[in-house]
């Protein structure tokens, strides 16, 4: 049974999420944000001994870097670009006339150098490349960003603008595979500590079109991506709340990143869907955080 619309309405009527008239685009209440902040801090406690370099990008990235990243090959349907009015007075008049007549006014818009970030790690790879050869032990980063994906939906877990916390590792194949294994374990421990049911499975990304079918098979067969799933909208279609990606040498080749030994670097990232985890908590422990189980409250707030 699909419970999604009910759950979204409950979140609205409690004021946890605030409708804007666009599916997947919501305001967040202070309580919702507090849960996200606490979860984000919990992730940090699991990762802090590793000494990752903290970097925060705004939710837009360079269009040139985005084009080079290969995202449009796999997910053109999800991408969001920033357009702006670049015309003259005549163009401005046409724009206002269209607007007044209720016609499409966006013809006067032109693409800017900015696109919306599709995943928190995408702006990072060119920055890694710009620093030159990796140091002997590779690099490790801590990221968090709002991300955009054009997938409007009534399922509260499928937003158009949502936050992703990530750790990203660049180094030798052995280093990045070990990093992913560590986080697969930590991720399960972390979600278990929050009293949430979960499964881990190979991922099934929505690669676009005919060529996308091959990419899907490749992703599955090579075990390139795992997801930690929690039932949120329905029992039979659990939601990916964490993902564990091994990009092999894709970004290393794309951006010319080399290890200290002169090999093309491999990369991996672990992503935490912050809104999805918050929604899983509200789904399983109730909409009133004050009545969440004591042990869960202690894990998040340090006190029941």
- Contact flag: residue 240 with ligand AMP (CB under 6 A): yes
Question: Which CB sits closer to Zn ion, 224 or 299?
Answer: 224
List the single partner that 121 binds among ligand AMP, Zn ion, none, CB under 5 to 8 Å by kind. Zn ion
Q: Which H or E element spans position 226?
A: strand 225-230
Strands 139-148 and 161-171: antiparallel
For the packed helices 294-301 and 30-47, what is the interaxial angle rounded to 10 degrees? 70
What whole-number distance in Å separates Cα of residue 76 and Cα of residue 206? 10
Which residues, numbered 135-174, are part of the site for ligand AMP (CB under 6 A)? 149, 151, 157-159, 162, 164
3-class DSSP assignment, residue 262: coil
From the list Zn ion, ligand AMP, none, partner contacted by residue 151 (C-beta under 5 to 8 A by kind): ligand AMP
Residue 240 binds Zn ion, judged by CB under 5 A: no
Does residue 34 touch ligand AMP according to CB under 6 A?
no
Provide, rounded to whole angstroms, the least separation between the CB of residue 127 and ligand AMP: 19
Task: Choose the binding region for ligand AMP from 65-73, 182-190, 267-275, 285-293 (rule: CB under 6 A).
Answer: 267-275
* CA atoms of 246 and 181, how far apart (whole Å): 10
Among 16, 35, 78, 121, interactor with Zn ion by CB under 5 A? 121
Say which residues have a Cβ less than 8 Å from residue 192's Cβ, sequence separation at least 6.
198
Comparing CA positions, the residue from 190, 146, 183, 192 lying closest to residue 269 is 183
Question: Judged by CB under 6 A, which of 17, 119, 198, 280 binds ligand AMP?
Answer: 119
- Minimum distance between the CB of residue 292 and ligand AMP, rounded to whole angstroms? 20
Of Zn ion, ligand AMP, none, which one sits near residue 176, judging by CB under 5 to 8 A according to partner kind?
Answer: none
Which window, 35-43, 201-209, 214-222, 265-273, contacts Zn ion (CB under 5 A)? 265-273
> d(Cα 232, Cα 95) in Å, to the nearest integer?
43
- Is 300 a binding residue for ligand AMP by CB under 6 A? The answer is no
The residue whose two tokens read 């357009």 is 83
DSSP class of residue 18? E
Phi then psi for residue 140, to 5 deg, are -140, 130
CB 52 within 8 A of CB 142: yes
Examine residue 279 and tell whether it contacts Zn ion (CB under 5 A): no
The helix (run of H) or strand (run of E) holding residue 113 is strand 109-116
Residue 125 binds to ligand AMP (criterion: CB under 6 A):
no
Is 281 near ligand AMP (CB under 6 A)? no
| Positions in the binding site for ligand AMP (CB under 6 A) | 119, 149, 151, 157-159, 162, 164, 240-243, 271, 273, 275-276
């Amino acid at each position: 049974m699909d419970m999604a619309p009910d759950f979204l309405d409950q979140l609205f009527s409690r004021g946890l999420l605030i409708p804007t008239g666009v599916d997947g685009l919501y305001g967040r209440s202070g309580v919702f944000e507090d849960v996200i902040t606490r979860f984000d801090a919990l992730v940090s406690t699991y990762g802090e001994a590793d000494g990752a370099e903290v970097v925060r990008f705004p939710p837009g990235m360079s269009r040139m870097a985005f084009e080079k990243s290969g995202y449009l090959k796999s997910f053109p349907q999800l991408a969001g670009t920033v357009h702006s009015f670049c015309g003259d007075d005549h163009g401005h008049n046409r724009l206002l006339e269209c607007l007044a007549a209720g016609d499409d006014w966006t013809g006067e818009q032109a693409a800017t150098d900015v696109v919306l970030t599709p995943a928190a790690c995408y702006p990072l790879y060119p920055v890694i490349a710009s620093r030159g050869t990796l140091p002997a032990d590779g690099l490790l980063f801590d990221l968090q960003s709002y991300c955009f994906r054009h997938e409007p939906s009534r399922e509260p877990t499928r937003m158009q603008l949502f936050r992703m916390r990530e750790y990203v590792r660049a180094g030798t194949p052995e280093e990045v595979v070990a990093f992913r294994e560590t986080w697969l374990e930590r991720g399960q421990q972390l979600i278990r500590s929050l009293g949430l049911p979960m499964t881990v499975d190979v991922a099934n990304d929505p690669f676009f079109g005919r060529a996308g079918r091959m990419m899907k098979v490749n992703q599955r067969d090579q075990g390139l991506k795992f997801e930690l799933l929690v039932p949120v909208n329905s029992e039979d279609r659990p939601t990916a709340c964490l993902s564990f990606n091994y990009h092999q040498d894709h970004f290393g080749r794309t951006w010319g990143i080399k290890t200290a030994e002169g090999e093309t670097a491999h990369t991996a990232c672990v992503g935490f869907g912050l809104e999805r985890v918050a929604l899983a908590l509200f789904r399983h422990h109730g909409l009133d955080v004050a009545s969440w189980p004591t042990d869960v409250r202690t894990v998040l707030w340090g006190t029941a």
